[in-house]
């Protein structure tokens, strides 16, 4: 049985964490397979968008496999240093849609935060239990969460270990929307198709501009935008007109 199931759908792929009997906990084997799978998707020129989800309806992923850690079969250091799946996700050049089907806890929360867009089912819940386990985060949660929901809310989550519901996550801006469990993958697939319909170079180039600018100061981000806009100024008038007409037609279709 594959620990990460892969479904290729034209220009996008659905990756499913497949340990439902263990709430898709991130064992050493699953971490390794996820990292290798994402690198393989990056090397596949046909795959330009990823959807990441978990098997079943209970868990996206419950985070590091604490039973495995407790047995000494792997260590927290291994999780940070050896085939880190979050680093692999961050190195994927296209957008990643997290389809959060159940709980996303601690290391699993960090995997969710490595995605570019989060869609949550009504069953989703989120928690940072690092402080309760006694382990510092190593995949970026301490910095990413505050930037996603604000520093005070991030402190509340991280210093209590309390869960928040999908609805609260939506109110706080952590997830883009909450949908019925049965609609989760169809909505994620539709979003992937929309992303694939934009100009191919813009899909990766604009994503990188947003990410690079967000990691910089506001002024540095504005300067970065100006620099890359100047590099992208060679588009012909005919191409602009054709694309303008296509955008207009699409907008009318969405308004109907």
- Residue 96: other Cβ atoms inside 10 A: 22
Q: Of 99, 23, 95, 32, which Cα lies nearest the Cα of 65?
A: 23
Please give the pLDDT value at position 250. 64
Residues of the chain with pLDDT under 70: 69-83, 233-252, 255-256
Please give the pLDDT value at position 231. 83
pLDDT digits (tens, 9 = 90+) for 142-201: 999 999 999 999 999 999 999 999 999 999 999 999 999 999 999 999 999 999 999 999
Domains in the chain, start-ordered, CATH in brackets? 4-196 (3.90.226.10), 216-255 (no CATH)
**pTM, entire model:** 0.90
3-state SS, residue 111: helix
Please give the pLDDT value at position 65. 81
251: burial class by Cβ within 10 Å (0-12, 13-18, 19+)? exposed
Strand partners, 51: 14, 97
CA distance 47 to 41: 6
Please give the pLDDT value at position 77. 53
Please give the pLDDT value at position 179. 98
User: If you average pLDDT over every residue of the chain, what do you get?
Assistant: 90
Contact yes or no for 4/34 (Cβ under 8 A) = yes
């Amino acid at each position: 049985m594959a620990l990460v199931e892969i479904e290729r759908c034209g220009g996008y792929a659905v990756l499913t964490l497949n340990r439902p009997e263990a709430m898709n906990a991130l064992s050493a084997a699953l971490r390794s397979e996820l990292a290798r799978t994402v690198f393989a998707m990056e090397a596949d020129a046909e795959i330009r968008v990823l959807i990441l989800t978990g098997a079943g309806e209970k868990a996206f992923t419950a985070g590091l496999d604490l039973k495995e850690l407790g047995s000494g079969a792997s260590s927290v250091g291994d999780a940070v240093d050896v085939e880190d799946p979050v680093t692999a996700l961050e190195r994927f050049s296209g957008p990643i849609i997290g389809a959060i089907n159940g709980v996303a806890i601690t290391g699993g929360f960090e995997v969710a935060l490595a995605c570019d867009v989060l869609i949550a089912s009504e069953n989703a819940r989120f928690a940072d239990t690092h402080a309760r386990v006694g382990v510092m985060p190593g995949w970026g949660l301490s910095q990413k969460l505050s930037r996603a929901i604000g520093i005070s809310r991030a402190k509340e989550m991280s210093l209590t270990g309390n869960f928040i519901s999908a609805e609260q996550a939506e109110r706080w801006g952590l997830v883009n929307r909450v949908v019925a469990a049965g609609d989760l993958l169809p909505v994620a697939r539709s979003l992937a198709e929309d992303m694939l319909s934009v100009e191919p170079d813009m899909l990766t180039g604009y994503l990188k501009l947003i990410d690079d600018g967000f990691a910089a100061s506001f002024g540095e981000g504005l300067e970065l935008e100006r620099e890359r806009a100047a590099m992208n100024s060679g588009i012909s008038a005919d191409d602009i007109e054709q694309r303008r007409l296509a955008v207009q037609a699409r907008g009318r279709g969405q308004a109907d």
